[in-house]
Amino acid sequence: MTATTDGSTGALPPRAAAASETDITIPVAAGVQEAAASAMQRATDFLLAQQDAEGWWKGDLETNVTMDAEDLLLRQFLGIRDEATTRAAALFVRGEQREDGTWATFYGGPPDLSATVEAYVALRLAGDAPEAPHMRLASAWIREQGGIAAARVFTRIWLALFGWWKWEDLPELPPELLFFPKWFPLSIYNFGCWARQTIVPLTVVSAKRPVRPAPFPLDELHVDPANPAPAQPLAPVNSWDGLFQRLDKVVRGYRSVAVRRLRGAALGSAARWIIERQENDGAWGGIQPPAVYSLIALHLLGYDLQHPVMRAGLESLDRYTVWREDGARMIEACQSPVWDTCLATIALADAGLPADHPQLVKAADWMLGEQVVRPGDWSVSRPQLPPGGWAFEFHNDNYPDIDDTAEVVLALRRVKHHDPERMDRAIARGVRWNLGMQSKNGGWGAFDVDNTSPFPNRMPFCDFGEVIDPPSADVTAHVVEMLAIEGLSHDPRTRRGIEWLLAEQEPDGSWFGRWGVNYVYGTGSVVPALTAAGLPARHPAIRRAVAWLERVQNDDGGWGEDLRSYQDATRWSGRGASTASQTAWALMALLAAGERDSKAVERGVAWLAQTQREDGSWDEPHFTGTGFPWDFSINYHLYRQVFPLTALGRYVHGEPFGKQPAKQPAQHAASAEAKGS
């Protein structure tokens, strides 16, 4: 049996499928070393050519058509939608529709109801007639799945803005949430930062319940237009879902008796909270969803489109736009220049580029200038911790993240900078900040400390993906690897991180990947960290990981993993079509485990060499990045370049940088300042 185009059957034990997708016969014999060196050089030249004149790298960050649909809906709501923008957006959305009339949220994935509803509405805004064949296919499928009523809450919120759904049939989200203290189970600071930035403006929208005149009806998307929102049965009262459903009814009742002065104070607090977190470039947190909701909320609170806050916010939306050669307009959910730049620096250094190469020094200069040196939302939990982290995006001083900070330090250590004292000071600040952001259990989350409350995920409106930020194996591994390079392998905090990682290993030998797909990413992150921290290759945890990677290697020599592993690990863990980035992650783990001369490594390296394009790049349509496991997936277009180059460099040159000791003076500086925290 083979997988369908959209993969909806999921019936394939995916090893056979991966081999069939590339018509390649890979000899695992002599010549692999030479092929690897040649591929490494071509990849180095290609990546160097992609660097911006300012020193950074940034690949496109591809998600799904809901970004494009919601951008058009925002412009319709604010009265600023124009024909040129609409036409370009529709060209992209139309091009992503599959033969069955649906849209998915990742390449080869199953149809997604909410994405299909939003894409359909976007095309209606662009003038596509509901009787057109591609639209009839989409609307018929939507009705088969239960219609708009079965779509996620956030999709129905967008539709409620135009009267296509009733506000009364949505969960209540009161702005008084902002008054809950941090220790309260439903404080906004118990939500992950991405959810927090979205929920605060949505409390304003929920309180105001605006309705703009709909430009057309959407009866064709309801199973029963006369009864679009059939009553849903309540879950048992002794279940969490049942408890929160009943809590929502209480909150709905509060709306009718809310004290006007208290409601007014809550809305004012929400406005201040939103405005205080607007970045210098006009965006919010460097990501698109909070930006669009913040603009709607402020507009509802009386901020006109010419107000400086609104004007800067609207101008920032254009920075999320990627124009394609055919004139289509794709919207990025966010941009990843810091992440891409540190990964590119690591890749080039590990491929043998001299540490004082001008382009590496320029990258280091740019990264040094991006360090966040003022407190942000993280300081609510760590008020005494001095700042010093790095964020993911161009402008995001409120939400530096632990993962970027660890990888930036690893990148900077590979560069011979003309101002080593400046470098050491910046690294010491980053190390101190990361150590201060360790959670109680010994692991590290992405943005916050101990963001592990079970309650936010139970809220009725939280059906759009993960809304908390607990420690993850991949982030913790990157921090442990960074601490090891900084000479802190034996620091008690590092040892706690190592113990947490060892306890998190899956029974099959892999590790779960929170921010990359999935067990291949987790394992590819953890094994290099553990060996850098001093665990020997013979350690049982390392051997179990090696055995797992060897078992899941595809017949074509590469590795791949489908996003369905987040829903069905039994069938999909480590299974999927071979990709350049996932093959590289597996190789990085095997090389760190001392498997350089193994057949698995030879076959993986050969696969990378033979699938490389003539210009030194790789093709990778598959999504290997993760926003929310399963719910929101990402294709980082630079992953297909930086990770294969890193793996090839470590194969060609032997020991990765992580096995080399840090320079003593810098090591002592970082250790001293870290201990001083």
The Cβ of residue 45 has, within 10 Å, a number of other Cβ atoms equal to 11
Name the helix (H) or strand (E) containing 317: helix 308-317
Q: Which amino acid is at 230?
A: P
Q: Which amino acid is at 162?
A: F
CB-based contacts of 617: which residues, under 8 Å, 6+ apart? 43, 46, 640, 641
Gap between the Cα atoms of 602 and 30, Å rounded: 10
CB-based contacts of 132: which residues, under 8 Å, 6+ apart? none
Q: List beta partners, residue 322.
A: 330
Gap between the Cα atoms of 506 and 355, Å rounded: 37
The Cβ of residue 9 has, within 10 Å, a number of other Cβ atoms equal to 11
Distance of CA 503 to the CA centre of its chain: 25
CB-based contacts of 358: which residues, under 8 Å, 6+ apart? none
CB-based contacts of 147: which residues, under 8 Å, 6+ apart? 221, 222, 223, 228
* Planar angle of CA 508, 511, 464, nearest 5 degrees: 120
Gap between the Cα atoms of 511 and 518, Å rounded: 8
State yes or no: is 68 an active-site residue: no
Nearest-CA neighbor of 443 among 546, 336, 526?
526
Dig out the tokens for 314 from the structure.
């609207």
Q: Are 565 and 572 in contact (CB under 8 A)?
A: yes
Catalytic residue among 403, 424, 469, 474: 403
Q: What is the CA radius of gyration of the chain?
A: 25
Q: Is 531 helix (H, G, I), strand (E, B) or coil?
A: helix
Over 244-287, what HEC string results? HHHHHHHHHHHHHHCCHHHHHHHHHHHHHHHHHCECCCCCECCE
Catalytic positions, please? 403
